Structure 1
Amino acid sequence: MNNLTISDAIQILDPKTTSDAIREIEYYGGFAGKKRAIEAVNQACEMACSMMRAYRKDMHMLYKITRITHTGTYGKEGTDRTDGRYPLRIGRIVEMRYDSIGIGIPMTLNYIRDSDGMPLRFNYIRTSDVVSKSKNNNKVVITTRNSVFEFEEYEEE
């Protein structure tokens, strides 16, 4: 089967594309016939999914919350946060764009999954003001006025 160009893939998947345009793509791209047309649609879908995954990875990485500790403001510095809802947050998957986390303002993260893998929709965490942030390989540490959040990159299966 011939390889699709990105332009062809967009045209095939775009609901505004006319049937005449699809026939032209089939003819010039060598995708005539039902089986080849289905293969072309599958290839276009694979291209689109691959690009969306790359976009998501570049823009909004997924991270797992691995640890939350006290900064010393209220509890003993370096000890695990066991108060309130903090223990429930460990193991949750969040969507984070590291570059958009600003110093001096609260961090807001969208929860994607609970620690048991169940999807979480419309759930967010909003922290106190961010004091510092660091990234090393696949680990991120965000220090807020009240807590230190440790994250590691998470790959969806």
Structure 2
Amino acid sequence: MNNLTISDAIQILDPKTTSDAIREIEYYGGLAGKKRAIEAVNQACEMACSMMRAYRKDMHMLYKITRITHTGTYGKEGTDRTDGRYPLRIGRIVEMRYDSIGIGIPMTLNYIRDSDGMPLRFNYIRTSDVVSKSKNNNKVVITTRNSVFEFEEYEEE
């Protein structure tokens, strides 16, 4: 199959594209026949997904919450948070832009997936004020007034 241009892929996937425009792409792109047209749509979808993944990676990395411990404000410093909803947060995937996490203000993260892999939509975590943050290779540690959150980079399959 001929490789699609990005312009062709956009045109194929755009709901505003007319059937005449699609026929033109089919004719000039050598996509005659249903099988070839389906292959072109699949290729356009793969291109779009690849671009969205690259965009998302640039804008918001995905991280897995690996551990949450006490800072010593309420519980013994360094011990795992087992109170409230903290245990449920371990293993969840969140969207984070490290550079936008500010010191002295709460951190808000969007949950993407639960620890079992199920999608979580419109669910967020909002912490107490951030005291410090550090990043080392694929690990991030965010210390808030009440908790220390440990994260690892997560790659979607």
TM-score (normalised: structure 1) = 0.91
* 1:144 positional shift: 0.8
In the other structure, the counterpart of 2:88 is 88
* 1:56 positional shift: 1.7
* 1:141 positional shift: 0.6
Q: Identity over aligned residues, as a percent?
A: 99
Cα distance in structure 1, aligned partners of 2:33 and 2:113 = 42
* 1:117 positional shift: 2.5
Cα distance in structure 2, aligned partners of 1:109 and 1:81 = 18
Deviates more, 1:6-15 or 1:16-25: 16-25
Cα distance in structure 1, aligned partners of 2:15 and 2:58 = 27
Question: Any stretches of 5+ residues in structure 1 without a counterpart?
Answer: none
* 1:114 positional shift: 2.1
In the other structure, the counterpart of 2:24 is 24
RMSD of the alignment, in Å?
Answer: 1.5
Say which SS state the counterpart of residue 2 (structure 1) adopts.
Answer: coil
* 1:60 positional shift: 2.0
* 1:59 positional shift: 1.7
* 1:96 positional shift: 1.4
Cα distance in structure 1, aligned partners of 2:129 and 2:110 = 17
* 1:17 positional shift: 0.9
Cα distance in structure 1, aligned partners of 2:55 and 2:109 = 18
Question: Any stretches of 5+ residues in structure 2 without a counterpart?
Answer: none
* 1:138 positional shift: 1.2
Over residues 108-145 of structure 1, what are the superposed CA-to-partner deviations in whole Å (9 max), with x where a residue is unaligned?
11122222223323221110111111111111111111
Cα distance in structure 1, aligned partners of 2:112 and 2:149 = 17
Deviates more, 1:119-128 or 1:139-148: 119-128
Say which SS state the counterpart of residue 121 (structure 2) adopts.
Answer: coil
* 1:65 positional shift: 0.8
Deviates more, 1:5-14 or 1:110-119: 110-119
Cα distance in structure 2, aligned partners of 1:116 and 1:39 = 33
Cα distance in structure 2, aligned partners of 1:84 and 1:91 = 16
**Is 2:48 the partner of 1:48?**
yes
In the other structure, the counterpart of 1:113 is 113
* 1:2 positional shift: 1.2
Cα distance in structure 1, aligned partners of 2:117 and 2:45 = 26
Query: Kindly tell me: are residues 146 and 50 of structure 1, through their superposed partners in 2, closer, same or farther at Cα, counting changes over 3 Å?
Result: same
* 1:53 positional shift: 1.4
* 1:78 positional shift: 1.6
Say which SS state the counterpart of residue 95 (structure 2) adopts.
Answer: strand
Over residues 136-157 of structure 1, what are the superposed CA-to-partner deviations in whole Å (9 max), with x where a residue is unaligned?
1111111111111000112223
Cα distance in structure 2, aligned partners of 1:123 and 1:27 = 46
